[in-house]
Structure 1
C-alpha cells in the first residue's frame, strides 16, 4: 500500500508556518525563531521518514523525538510565554487537544497495523492540527 504518501504531502506543509513567520511577521520573538528552526528540522525529518516509512528505524525514532519535543515546546511557549489574545489561546488549546487525540488514535491504529488506512488517516489529521497550531503560535 502507498497510502502513506499523503503523509509526505502533509509533512510538506510544515514549511508553511516557517515561511509565514519569516515573510509576514515583522519582528519575530526569539522563541519564535527558535521554534521555526526546529520546525524546519521537523519538516525535513517528517518528509524523509514518510517517503520510506520503516517502523522503528533511526529516522523514525529521531522524527518521533523531534515531533514530541516540538509539541511540548510549542505548548509551553503559547501557554506561558507568548502574549496573545485569550481568543487565540483558546483556539490553540482546542487545536492542541485535537492534536493529542489524533496522535493517540494514530498510535492505537499503528500498533494494530502499521500503515493501515486508519493509522494514516489519523496521522494526517494530526499533521493538519500541528500545522494550524504553529500558525497560531506565530500570530
Structure 2
C-alpha cells in the first residue's frame, strides 16, 4: 500500500510557514534568523518530498532529509526560546506543539524500527509533520 504518499502531501505543507514569511511579513520586520529558517523550510520541503516519493530507509536522501529536519527543529526551538520576543500565549502554544512534535517523532521512530513504512510509522510521522508545521507557523507570527 502507498500510505507513505500522505507524507508527500504533509511535506508540501512545510511551505506554509515559508509563505507566511515571504508574503505576509514586511521586509523591515523580517530578520536574518527568520530568513535563514525559511530557507531551511524550503530545504525540508525539497528533501522530504524527494525522500517520501521513494522511502528507502538509511538511503543518502533519507540521511540528508533527516539532517535538515533535525537542524530545522533545533534552530526554530532555539529561536523561539532565546531570540524572538513572543507573547506568552503563543509561546505556550509553540512549546506544546514542540512537545507533541517530539512525542510523535519518538513514536514514529519506534514503529519504523519494528516495520518500515507500517501504518503506525506513517501515522505518527504524519502527526509529527503537522505539529512541526503548526509550530513553524506559530514561531513566525
Q: What's the TM-score, normalizing by structure 2?
A: 0.97
Aligned residue pair count: 139
What whole-Å deviation, never above 9, does each CA across 1:84-120 have from its counterpart, x for those lacking one? 1011111100000000000000000000000000000
Matched, 1:65 2:59: no
Name the structure 1 match of 2:86. 84
- Equivalents in 2 of 1:73, 1:13: separation in Å? 19
Q: What's the TM-score, normalizing by structure 1?
A: 0.98
Name the structure 2 match of 1:4. 4
Q: Which ranges of 4 or more aligned residues in structure 1 deviate by more than 3 Å?
A: none
The within-5 A match list for 1:1-139 is 1-26=1-26, 27-139=29-141
Q: CA RMSD of the aligned region, Å? A: 0.6
